[in-house]
Amino acid sequence: MNAEARTLRRVLVLADESADWLVAGLRQLDRLALSLNEFAVQSKQTAPLVVCVLWSPALDQSQRWFPTHARLAMVAFTNYAGSEPFDLLLSTRLFLWRNALAQFLEVAPTPLEMVASHGEKERWESCAHSLESFPPSLEGKWNYIRDGNEIDEIEKLFLRGSGKSQDGFVSRYLNRPISRAVTRLLLRFPTTPNAWALLIGPIPVVASFILLQGTYWSFFWGLVLYQFFSVLDGCDGEIARAKFLESERGRRLDDLCDVASNILLVLGLGFGLSNFHGLAWFYVVEGILAALLIGANEFLLARQKPGENAAVSLGGALYPRHRELVERSGILRLGEKSTSWLIQLTKRDVAVLGFVFLAALGLPSLILHLLFAVAAISLALALKSFSRGRA
């Protein structure tokens, strides 16, 4: 059945002890409610979905509850089933991945009609029997949890798919596996993305102070600390996607932390290299200029408004604020493949790990020169893109 052909007005959720199971940071009933709310928002429905929660007769009233998440603006809860038919039957044993409800609707069975004369137990047994026709688990979309022992494996699979298309190859093969392990631990606590971003915010500050010492080992361990920050920086996004906590404020905070860490890096390198080479003020000037270039570049990127067709071919590899720059700057004249490789090699995750190796080789000055060159070229491209946009 086509998902577009099914409108959701009334949804029946069969709830038992699995409603309280914590999977990837959310209780199962909360995740179902947030998935329904997300579907309603994306479908541009004007009226809230009515969600009837039919609890197992084995649970007493103290074990029954309704979700109260702040984002549930398009979902209204009730425990009265009535006799009016439902559009969809769900179970709290169903683990839905993000944005998977539309595809689930294509194969979900039509709910049985409620019989007014049936009591709570009869209704529960009738609906529980219909769960046998539930579609099997589909990797990357949903899982039916028959046993609580399956939760660990489902969490691992879910977080494995929580990366971003903008990730560079270092993130995909090194940073993400580590950050996902950290995120799995964090999801057992009431951690929010913004709180985590603020918690790890001091790491680049400490790293820049280490760089200021201007010794071989200070450069090496300072860059190692930046790599550590680069890994942990992925956790806030993973938490947000797992808990339905994405927000524009969170994206701005993440961008601000990234820009601040980049500025601290070039300043730490500039002053540290000055000490390393005996007060060679050339490095201080280069570090300050690089910081100004980075700030100016980010200012221009923030002022650009993404176009509808900006960098369509490479859109998945770029953040929205970079798509217009690539489209208008003329860099695509190098060819799509060459541009793609250039973007991959200058991604932050690739650069930071490369800087660690350069520091290990005793080439910290090359790191600063590369950062200055990339910042200058990026600003030139941003200015070109911005002027074309205004024109």
Domain residue spans of the chain: 3-151, 169-390
What sign has the CA pseudo-torsion 275, 280, 282, 284? positive
Q: What is the pLDDT of residue 312?
A: 47
CA distances from 42 to 39, 142, 242 (A): 5, 19, 18
Encode 340-373: b = buried (16+ Cβ within 10 Å), e = exposed: beebeeebbbbbbbbbbebbeeeebbebbebbbe
The structural architecture, per CATH, of the domain 169-390 is: Up-down Bundle (1.20)
Sequence-separated (6 or more) residues with CB below 8 Å from residue 299: none
Q: What is the pLDDT of residue 317?
A: 53
Q: What is the pLDDT of residue 34?
A: 96
Q: What is the pLDDT of residue 62?
A: 92
CA distance 88 to 105: 8
Burial class for 164, CB neighbours closer than 10 Å (0-12, 13-18, 19+): middle
* Main-chain dihedrals φ then ψ at residue 49, nearest 5 degrees: -75, 135
Compute mean pLDDT per 10 residues along the chain, 391 residues long, and list them.
Answer: 62 94 96 95 90 92 92 92 85 93 86 62 79 80 91 93 78 92 95 94 96 96 97 94 92 91 96 86 95 91 59 52 61 66 78 96 96 91 70 54
Contact indicator for 98, 31 with CB cutoff of 8 Å: no
